[in-house]
Amino acid sequence: MSDAGRLPRSFLILSTVILALGFFSLAAWAITGNFNHVGSYFTYPAALFLIICSITEASFAAFAYRQFEPSEPLHGAWFLLLSGAICRVLGTAFVQWFASDAALNLFRRGPLWESVPPDQLRQIGFVLHGPLALVLVGSGLGIVLRTYSCLGWLEKYQRVDLAWIGAGILYCLHHFHQVYLNTRSSGWKLEVTHALNWLTDPLLVLLLAEVLLLRRSAMAMGGGWVSACWSAYAAGIFFTCLGNLGIWLVNWEYLRWPYTSVTWFLWLPAWAAFALAPLYQWSAITETRAACWAILNQGNASKAPL
């Protein structure tokens, strides 16, 4: 593997180790019957991993954004992807750090923490890394799709893709029906953060439709870092959809506490995939630069005495 591939590979290894640690905690719970093993895992290593993932995503998206000039099509795309990544950093920090009662949260006994209920902080975090980040990422990926179309590399949906989208639409209709029934029974009292979070599901279906097409087009390139970058975004959205499905299963009591914690694991690969995407973009740029340097050096060498 080239030097450019080392960073994504290292990050993949780290993600695998963290996930494996999670499965060990699940096994420990199953054997001992003590749920604290899983609880501690999500309070410390998993929370820290999610924060590291979002910071990695934002840092490398910022690097990618700086590589494009305003006149280039992907300048706008990376600006939106970077904005989405920043929302994810803030949202993750609110949910996993500021709203946490764990020792990781250094502000937990401060005046601000006591004045704002943790649940409210968590809701703000959900809006930030939920609908807000998704709108930004979706718009950025829309520009990428348009670029593929301009290059003539846009592929078509296949039947399995249409089946996924159809299932998503059915789920959305069901979701809105439930929202309607719930708000009617509560006398149409709405909380802004809750109402914003309702948008997550239809947004995810739109994003799913977008990334399925993007993944098909990226795969048709025959591998490469560029294709890996967009495929990683597609994987991130796909795992987010699965995570949301997990929430639905919990809300409808198909899964009961403490088994609901199994669905929490879905957010780890989702965040890891979002972080991997700009890492792959970094690899593509590093690879191109390395090739340029190699050929320039060779060129200079060939100019030496003949």
Partner 1 sequence: MLGLPVRHLSDGDLLDLQQGAGGPLRRWWLQRHLRRCDFCVEKESQMRNLCDQVDAALLKPDMRAVDRLDTRNQLLRVMRSWRWEGGFEESTWHALAESMLRCLGSKAVDSSCRLGPQVWRRVSSPLAVFVGRRNANSISMAISKDSRPPSRRNEDQSADV
Q: Which positions touch partner 1 (CB under 8 A)?
A: 2, 4, 67-69, 72-74, 147, 151, 153, 220-227, 281, 284-285, 287-292, 294-296, 298-299, 302-303, 306
Compute the CA torsion angle 58, 115, 195, 206 (nearest 10 deg).
Answer: 10
Least distance in Å: CB of 260 to partner 1? 40
> Which one, 37 or 216, has the nearer CB to partner 1?
216
Task: Please say which residue, 112 or 304, places its beta carbon nearer to partner 1.
Answer: 304
Crossing angle, helix 73-92 and helix 267-302, to 10 degrees?
140
DSSP string, 34-95: -THHHHHHHHTHHHHHHHHHHHHHHHHHHHHHHTS-TTSHHHHHHHHHHHHHHHHHHHHIII
Residue closer to partner 1 (CB basis): 92 or 281: 281
Select 74 or 87, whichever has its Cβ closest to partner 1. 74
CA distance 92 to 51: 6
Q: How far apart are CA 240 and CA 300, in angstroms?
A: 50
Minimum gap (Å) between residue 79 Cβ and partner 1:
13
CB of 296 to partner 1, least distance (A): 5
To the nearest whole angstrom, how small is the minimum distance from the Cβ of residue 6 to partner 1?
A: 13
For partner 1, give the closer residue by CB, 174 or 289.
289
Q: From the centroid of its chain, how far is CA 259?
A: 23
Q: Which is nearer to partner 1, 166 or 224 (CB)?
A: 224
Q: Minimum Å distance from CB 227 to partner 1?
A: 5
Instruction: Name the amino acid, one letter, at 91.
Output: G
> Residue 172 burial by CB count (10 A; 0-12/13-18/19+): exposed, middle or buried?
middle
DSSP string, 95-161: IIIIT--STT-TTTTSHHHHHS-HHHHHHHHHHIIIIIHHHHHHHHHHHHHHHHHHHT------HHH
| The two three-digit tokens of residue 268, written as one number | 């780890």
- Write down the least CB distance from residue 53 to partner 1, Å: 23
Among the listed residues 15, 95, 13, the one whose alpha carbon sits nearest the alpha carbon of residue 271? 15
Instruction: Pick between residue 165 and residue 219 the one whose CB is nearest to partner 1.
Output: 219
* Cβ 237 to partner 1 shortest distance, Å: 20
